């Protein structure tokens, strides 16, 4: 322990020395303008004064060209500039209208003519050229695109889908922006808004984001996918850089209203087939922005507000118990094959006298006697609504239909102040505030609504950025930022306060320490469930302090910096606090209970008998963790020649291991000697608590060797052709950082329902009427030490969990074409290493070794329990147990789940083609095509001891993808190519039209074919179906394959009648079997009406999925499901129509 502390001190000392020696640094939120000044003879001209003036704010940046004639105007806020170059003995050069986008490296070489400075050569032209100094693979979305392209809910993050390597989804709440770029893991992008982090870790991931700019408030954003400079890190799949607009010397503003109404929308494909009308939907989205000067040329402001009110009238189609089934009569319960589903009596389970395994008897007449029914189950069933529609004529499925609504609301506002202290100093501040709510109305009758499990979701998002930039001389820039991003998330259960004793459960339920009173969860297989197991209050936050020092020294542009973040997660969460009870078909299946059958067993029958599985958890999660992220870097962009620039960088990343405010954490030590080793010789493994008995407060060993080199080049082969390439190592967020899932055992008590004798999974023991006869205890904290959790499931961090990283490389050729158009062809490669390969589950260290499955039914043999008398709670309190339990490596536990274990790999190789055109002559477009392959081994594994066996095509692989955005201002009306001199009245009808759109064509993602996991009692996390090795893909129209999308006969449940326990031989995902692809076009039609005094009125019509193309969802992939291979739902939204009205000045 002493050595480990000294190691910490050494790393900290080195870090402090580095921080003291370098000024603070931060992420670049500007653009640059570079070039060479020459005289009339073509010789370079040093000493020329180069001035860039922002036209909107009159802010100036001044520099003198060096002895090679080079100038580098860096960190310019995006905008439109005038470039002025003056030198004694030469005419002054002025170029107006230079547009600089976020992250753009524009170059403009200038030749000065001999003459007097008072003489001026004026050029009105934008700079349009290729990026000759950077190797970054990126996609920019400018303000024109953000404000013109159709956006449902006006969420600018939706435009991330324009990136060629995009995969994932974008939503409107803090945890719904989860995507990957170029094969990375979803949810690992670093999001920067105005140069500071806007993201934070959440309960189970890193995808939280707390700032959602309004479309009218955002300036532009840039998604860097590959080979970004060393100033960027802590990301496994890209950097998103977003910049708010700044105010200008003129007042500008807008007010808008957007409306959507389902009366104008198309219906869902399957709803139309079933004659179900489109549910009503209403949305109003309104707000405005105002920008302008506080003090002209010095102080400017932006004020933005946006509100949304939405009623989404949803429907519920579900299966509820019939009156006969409620009374125990299953004589009319048929399967999809029209065969009676036989209900077997689990209380008759006994060894098979004529062979291996067990058998049980069916109920006479397929009816359960009242005397065997659970009193709790009968009272719970009373909260089910009665069937109100006929349902399936054979199975009676989907016999309940109801309509309701989800009421969504957003209130958001942002303010930004920019102030120019002098030509050498400027500051800014921006604050963002947003409230989001999603509140469903009941779909059950009012008397039963408490059991429906409704959740009211609320996000309270806050974000603050302060920035200071100083230019003490023409070749030095200091930039410092201070940032804060926070989301308070409430997950409010509508049954809060419900007493479980109302259902007849024991009084001990009401008194369980650390439990929250909620309606218990009942989940009978094949029927809609009752209750919801959660109630939460979370706070996620990131405090950040980045800064940078940029030095221009000859041909070198050197940036040195530091990135410091304090990350905190506060998590108060209830789950299963009144009980979570699941009822499958195993307890009522037969005659062999270990063999799954489509004609035996029913989840509701199992519930009526009170035979199932489940748990009740006390103090599920209650923690306040924090960690620090510290990084430093140096980046040298070296202009070797006028044709070649090298990008050389080195970054050091350190995520410090998290601590918890009250030391409510532990970790799993797999090799520590167990106190129960006297019961089982050589027994190892146990939970070690932080902050006690001399153990460090930190949950992990520090991972302090994360050096991330960057290399890139840009070579100008000819004026119209630039070759870019590079390679980089980039470290992502570490599992060691603050999070909401930190391993709560000891502070959490998980009471497992020991529902079978000897834990054999088939012979009933304690029924639902008293599932926890041992009662409930106060969480012991660290007092039980290595004996914590014995007899049950535990989970814990693994101390030597390393930081994941990716190795990236790319090579691309960028070609300039006429009409401000560029074409780019690129190869990009990604190799993810030490990636997350489990979450809170997905790997179980206590899984039965695969070889032991050969024992078949002997795994359930009753044997002497060596822990009898030493374990007082859980599954190992009795004198006997089953053989399988003692074959586990950590047999003192029933399950050992490592939290967010690293060690996974992924691979991405892609050919990417881009064609883009800047706005000119009224036309702008950006299109890309990708041909790629993505492999990984996922986070949920069939064999926990061999996760690499799951290495296969990735679940997010999109083999081919084409996407194009386009903006076209029609050339009609006053001042246009056609009708340029028409009257104002004529212009009202003919002028001011604009058509915009986004078209997406992409292939489907791979399918996983799963089997019924009859190995879950042995802690196998998932089970794949067997395949006969044939290609199961079918061809032809999808509409003709809805009932049989692929050849289902090629798959089967693993195992056989002799031994049903076997792993599947199929892969995790099939490249040859894919969900249906996407063909979608969103369009907007804009009409601008010019009025007096700079006021413009804009009317918009926006169509989402304009041509109403159906993207069918993937088929049912459960090999034993009645609907196996069938497609029964639509994955995309049918056509939706939105109108908007804007007033702009």
CATH number, position 58? 2.60.40.1120
Model pTM score: 0.87
List CB contacts of 353: < 8 A, sequence separation 6 or more. none
Q: How confident is the model at residue 204 (pLDDT cuts 50, 70, 90)?
A: low
* Predicted confidence (pLDDT) at residue 579 exceeds the cutoff of 90: yes
Dist. CA 469–CA 426, nearest whole Å? 5
Specify whether 983 is located in the same domain as 1071. Answer: yes
Count of domains observed in the chain: 3
Q: How confident is the model at residue 117 (pLDDT cuts 50, 70, 90)?
A: low
Specify whether 175 is located in the same domain as 113. Answer: no
* Predicted confidence (pLDDT) at residue 15 exceeds the cutoff of 50: no
431, part of any domain:
no
Helix (H) or strand (E) holding 58: none
Dist. CA 612–CA 602, nearest whole Å? 11
Supply the pLDDT for residue 731. Answer: 97
1115, part of any domain:
yes
Percent of the chain at pLDDT > 90 equals 72
List CB contacts of 800: < 8 A, sequence separation 6 or more. 700, 701
Task: Copy the structure tokens of residue 381.
Answer: 């069933």
Which of 244, 274, 291 terminates a domain? The answer is 244
| Least confident piece of the model among 105-114, 438-447, 924-933 | 105-114
Q: Are 420 and 401 in contact (CB under 8 A)?
A: no
Compare 494 and 1091 and report the one with higher pLDDT. Answer: 494
DSSP 196: E
Compute how many other C-beta atoms are within 10 angstroms of the C-beta atom of residue 692: 14
Sign of CA dihedral 1022, 1025, 1029, 1034: negative
Mean per-residue pLDDT for 124-142? 81
Q: What is the pLDDT of residues 429-458, one digit of tens each?
A: 999 999 999 999 899 999 899 999 999 999
* Predicted confidence (pLDDT) at residue 873 exceeds the cutoff of 90: no
Q: If you average pLDDT over every residue of the chain, what do you get?
A: 91
444, part of any domain:
no
List CB contacts of 628: < 8 A, sequence separation 6 or more. 564, 565, 566, 567, 654, 655, 656
Supply the pLDDT for residue 824. Answer: 96
Percent of the chain at pLDDT > 70 equals 96
- The backbone region for 577, taken as left when phi is positive above 0, alpha when psi lies in -120 to 50, beta otherwise, is alpha
Supply the pLDDT for residue 387. Answer: 96
Specify whether 1114 is located in the same domain as 966. Answer: yes
Which of 212, 244, 276 terminates a domain? The answer is 244
933, part of any domain:
yes
Q: Can you state the percent helix, strand and coil of the chain, rounding each to 5?
A: 10, 45, 45
Supply the pLDDT for residue 806. Answer: 97
Cα-to-chain-centroid distance, residue 299: 38
Domain containing residue 47: 31-124
Indicate the burial class of 811 (C-beta count within 10 angstroms; 0-12, 13-18, 19 or more). middle
* Predicted confidence (pLDDT) at residue 129 exceeds the cutoff of 90: no
Q: How confident is the model at residue 1099 (pLDDT cuts 50, 70, 90)?
A: very high
Mean per-residue pLDDT for 626-632? 97
DSSP 270: H
Compare 1084 and 744 and report the one with higher pLDDT. Answer: 1084
83, part of any domain:
yes
Dist. CA 675–CA 1029, nearest whole Å? 48
Hey, is 881 helix, strand or coil?
strand
DSSP codes of every residue in 284-345? EEEEEEEEEEEETTTEEEEEEEEEEEEEE--EEEE----HHHHTTB-TT-B-TTS-B-BPEE
Mean per-residue pLDDT for 995-1021? 96
Specify whether 86 is located in the same domain as 209. Answer: no
Supply the pLDDT for residue 128. Answer: 61
Supply the pLDDT for residue 124. Answer: 61
Mean per-residue pLDDT for 978-999? 90
Indicate the burial class of 125 (C-beta count within 10 angstroms; 0-12, 13-18, 19 or more). exposed
238, part of any domain:
yes
Specify whether 54 is located in the same domain as 165. Answer: no
DSSP 842: S
Supply the pLDDT for residue 118. Answer: 61
Specify whether 236 is located in the same domain as 117. Answer: no
Q: Are 290 and 325 in contact (CB under 8 A)?
A: no
CATH of the domain at 169: 2.170.130.10
Supply the pLDDT for residue 114. Answer: 79
Specify whether 1085 is located in the same domain as 1001. Answer: yes
Specify whether 1102 is located in the same domain as 1011. Answer: yes
Q: How confident is the model at residue 1091 (pLDDT cuts 50, 70, 90)?
A: confident
| Least confident piece of the model among 260-269, 349-358, 769-778 | 349-358
Which of 210, 244, 278 terminates a domain? The answer is 244
Specify whether 49 is located in the same domain as 151. Answer: no
Give the pairing type, strands 793-796 and 805-817. Answer: unpaired
Q: What is the pLDDT of residues 466-484, one digit of tens each?
A: 999 999 988 899 999 999 9
Specify whether 55 is located in the same domain as 149. Answer: no
Q: Are 749 and 618 in contact (CB under 8 A)?
A: yes
Give the pairing type, strands 880-882 and 895-898. Answer: unpaired
3-class secondary structure per residue, 684-753: EEEEEECCCCCCCCCCCCCCCCEEEEEEEEEEEEECCEEEEEEEEEEECCCCCCCCCCCCCECCEEEEEC
Quickly tell me which residue has 């932006």 as its tokens: 302
Compute how many other C-beta atoms are within 10 angstroms of the C-beta atom of residue 149: 23
* Predicted confidence (pLDDT) at residue 19 exceeds the cutoff of 50: no
Quickly tell me which residue has 């078949």 as its tokens: 856
Q: What is the pLDDT of residues 852-869, one digit of tens each?
A: 999 998 999 999 999 999
Q: How confident is the model at residue 12 (pLDDT cuts 50, 70, 90)?
A: very low
Q: How confident is the model at residue 23 (pLDDT cuts 50, 70, 90)?
A: very low
* Predicted confidence (pLDDT) at residue 11 exceeds the cutoff of 50: no
Supply the pLDDT for residue 205. Answer: 65
Cis peptide before 591 (omega within 30 of 0): yes
For 850, phi then psi, to 5°, come to -55, -40
151, part of any domain:
yes
* Predicted confidence (pLDDT) at residue 748 exceeds the cutoff of 50: yes
- The backbone region for 900, taken as left when phi is positive above 0, alpha when psi lies in -120 to 50, beta otherwise, is left
* Predicted confidence (pLDDT) at residue 22 exceeds the cutoff of 60: no
Specify whether 86 is located in the same domain as 177. Answer: no
699, part of any domain:
no
Q: How confident is the model at residue 10 (pLDDT cuts 50, 70, 90)?
A: very low
Specify whether 166 is located in the same domain as 197. Answer: yes
Compare 598 and 1001 and report the one with higher pLDDT. Answer: 1001
């Amino acid at each position: 322990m002493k050595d480990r502390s000294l190691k910490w001190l050494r790393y900290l000392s080195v870090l402090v020395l580095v921080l003291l020696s370098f000024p603070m640094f931060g992420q670049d939120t500007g653009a640059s303008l570079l070039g060479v000044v020459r005289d009339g003879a073509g010789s370079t001209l040093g000493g020329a004064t180069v001035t860039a003036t922002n036209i909107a704010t009159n802010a100036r940046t001044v520099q003198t060209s060096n002895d090679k004639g080079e100038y580098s105007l860096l960190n310019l806020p995006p905008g439109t500039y005038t470039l002025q170059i003056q030198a004694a003995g030469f005419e002054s050069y002025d170029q107006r209208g230079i547009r600089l986008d976020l992250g753009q490296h524009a170059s403009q070489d200038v030749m000065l003519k001999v003459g007097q400075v008072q003489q001026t050569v004026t050029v009105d032209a934008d700079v349009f050229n290729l990026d000759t100094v950077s190797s970054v693979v990126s996609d920019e979305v400018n303000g024109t695109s953000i404000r013109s392209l159709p956006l449902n809910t006006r969420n600018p993050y939706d435009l991330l889908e324009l990136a060629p390597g995009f995969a994932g989804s974008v939503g409107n709440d803090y945890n719904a922006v989860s995507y990957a770029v170029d094969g990375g893991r979803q949810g690992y992008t670093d999001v920067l808004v105005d140069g500071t982090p806007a993201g934070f870790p959440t309960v189970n991931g890193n995808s939280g984001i707390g700032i959602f700019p309004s479309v009218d408030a955002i300036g532009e954003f840039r998604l860097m996918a590959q080979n970004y400079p060393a100033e960027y890190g802590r990301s496994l799949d890209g950097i998103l850089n977003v910049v708010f607009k700044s105010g200008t010397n003129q007042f500008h503003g807008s007010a808008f209203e957007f409306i959507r109404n389902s009366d104008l929308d198309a219906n869902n494909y399957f709803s139309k087939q079933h004659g179900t009308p489109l549910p009503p939907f209403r949305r109003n989205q309104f707000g405005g922005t105002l920008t302008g000067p506080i003090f002209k040329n010095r102080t400017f402001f932006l004020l933005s507000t946006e509100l949304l009110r939405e009623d989404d009238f949803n429907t519920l189609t579900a299966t509820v118990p019939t009156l006969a089934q409620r009374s125990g009569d299953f004589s009319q319960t048929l399967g999809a094959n029209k065969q009676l589903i036989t209900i077997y009596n689990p209380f008759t389970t006994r060894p098979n006298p004529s062979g291996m395994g067990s058998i049980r008897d069916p109920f006479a007449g397929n009816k359960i006697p009242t005397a065997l029914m659970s009193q709790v189950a009968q009272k719970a069933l009373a909260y089910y609504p009665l069937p109100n529609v006929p349902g399936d004529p054979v199975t009676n499925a989907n016999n309940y239909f109801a309509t309701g609504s989800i009421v969504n609301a957003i209130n958001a506002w942002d303010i930004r102040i920019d102030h120019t202290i002098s030509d050498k100093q400027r500051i800014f501040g921006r604050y963002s505030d947003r409230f989001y709510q999603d509140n469903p109305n009941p779909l059950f009758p009012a008397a039963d609504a408490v059991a429906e499990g409704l959740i009211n979701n609320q996000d309270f998002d806050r974000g603050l950025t302060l920035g200071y930039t100083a230019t003490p001389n023409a070749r030095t820039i200091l930039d410092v930022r201070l940032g804060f991003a926070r989301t308070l998330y409430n997950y409010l259960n509508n049954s809060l306060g419900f007493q479980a004793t109302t259902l007849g459960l024991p009084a001990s339920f009401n008194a369980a320490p650390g439990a929250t009173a909620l309606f218990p969860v009942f989940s009978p297989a094949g029927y809609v469930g009752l209750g919801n197991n959660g109630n939460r209050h979370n706070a996620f936050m990131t405090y950040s302090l980045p800064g940078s020092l940029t030095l221009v020294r000859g041909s070198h542009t050197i940036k040195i910096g530091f990135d410091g973040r304090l990350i905190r997660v506060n998590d108060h969460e209830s789950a299963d606090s009144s009980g979570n009870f699941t009822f499958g078909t195993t307890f009522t299946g037969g005659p062999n209970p270990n063999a799954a059958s489509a004609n035996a067993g029913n989840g509701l029958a199992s519930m009526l008998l009170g035979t199932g599985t489940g748990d009740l958890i006390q103090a599920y999660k209650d923690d306040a963790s924090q960690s620090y992220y510290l990084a430093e870097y140096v980046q040298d962009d070296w202009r070797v020649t006028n044709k070649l620039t090298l990008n050389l960088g080195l970054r050091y990343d350190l995520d410090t291991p998290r601590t918890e405010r009250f030391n409510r954490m532990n970790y799993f030590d797999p090799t520590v000697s167990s106190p129960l080793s006297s019961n089982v010789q050589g027994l190892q493994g146990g939970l070690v608590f932080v902050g006690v008995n001399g153990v460090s407060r930190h949950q992990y060993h520090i991972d302090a060797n994360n050096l991330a080199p960057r290399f890139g080049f840009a070579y100008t082969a000819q004026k119209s052709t630039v070759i870019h390439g590079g390679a980089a190592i980039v470290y992502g967020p570490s599992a060691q950082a603050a999070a909401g899932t930190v391993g709560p055992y000891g502070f959490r008590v998980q009471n497992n329902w020991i529902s079978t004798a000897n834990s054999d999974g088939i012979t009933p023991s304690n029924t639902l009427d008293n599932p926890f006869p041992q009662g409930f205890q106060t969480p012991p904290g660290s007092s039980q030490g290595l004996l914590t959790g014995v007899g049950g499931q535990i989970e814990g961090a693994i101390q030597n969990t390393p930081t994941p990283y990716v190795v990236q490389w790319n090579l691309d050729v960028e070609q300039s074409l006429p009409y401000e158009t560029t074409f780019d062809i690129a190869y990009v490669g990604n190799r993810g290493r030490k990636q997350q390969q489990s979450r809170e589950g997905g790997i179980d260290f206590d899984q039965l070794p695969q070889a032991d499955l050969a024992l078949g039914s002997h795994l359930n043999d009753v044997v002497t329990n060596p822990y009898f008398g030493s374990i007082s709670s859980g599954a190992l309190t009795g004198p006997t147990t089953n053989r399988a339990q003692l074959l586990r490596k950590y047999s003192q536990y029933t399950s050992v789940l490592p939290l967010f274990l690293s060690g996974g790999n992924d691979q991405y190789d892609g050919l990417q083609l881009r064609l883009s055109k800047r706005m000119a002559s009224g036309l702008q477009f950006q299109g890309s095509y990708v041909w790629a392959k993505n492999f990984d081994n996922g986070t949920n594994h069939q064999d926990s001891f061999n996760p690499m066996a799951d290495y296969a095509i990735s679940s997010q692989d999109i083999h081919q993808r084409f996407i194009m955005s386009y903006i076209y201002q029609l050339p009609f009306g006053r001042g246009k190519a056609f009708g340029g001199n028409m009257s104002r009245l004529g212009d009202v009808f003919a002028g001011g039209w604009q058509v915009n759109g986004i078209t997406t064509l992409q292939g489907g993602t791979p399918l996983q074919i799963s089997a019924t996991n009859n190995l879950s009692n042995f802690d196998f996390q998932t089970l794949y179906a067997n395949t006969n090795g044939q290609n199961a893909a079918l061809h032809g129209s999808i509409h003709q394959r809805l009932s049989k999308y692929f050849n289902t006969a090629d798959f089967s449940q693993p195992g056989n009648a002799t031994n049903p326990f076997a792993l599947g031989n199929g892969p995790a995902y099939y490249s040859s079997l894919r969900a249906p692809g996407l063909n979608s076009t969103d369009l907007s039609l804009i009409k601008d009406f010019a009025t007096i005094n700079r006021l413009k009125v804009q009317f918009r019509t926006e169509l989402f999925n304009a041509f109403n193309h159906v993207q069918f969802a993937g088929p049912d992939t459960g090999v034993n499901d009645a609907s196996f291979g069938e497609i029964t739902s639509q994955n995309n939204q049918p056509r939706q129509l939105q109108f908007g009205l804007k007033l702009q000045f």
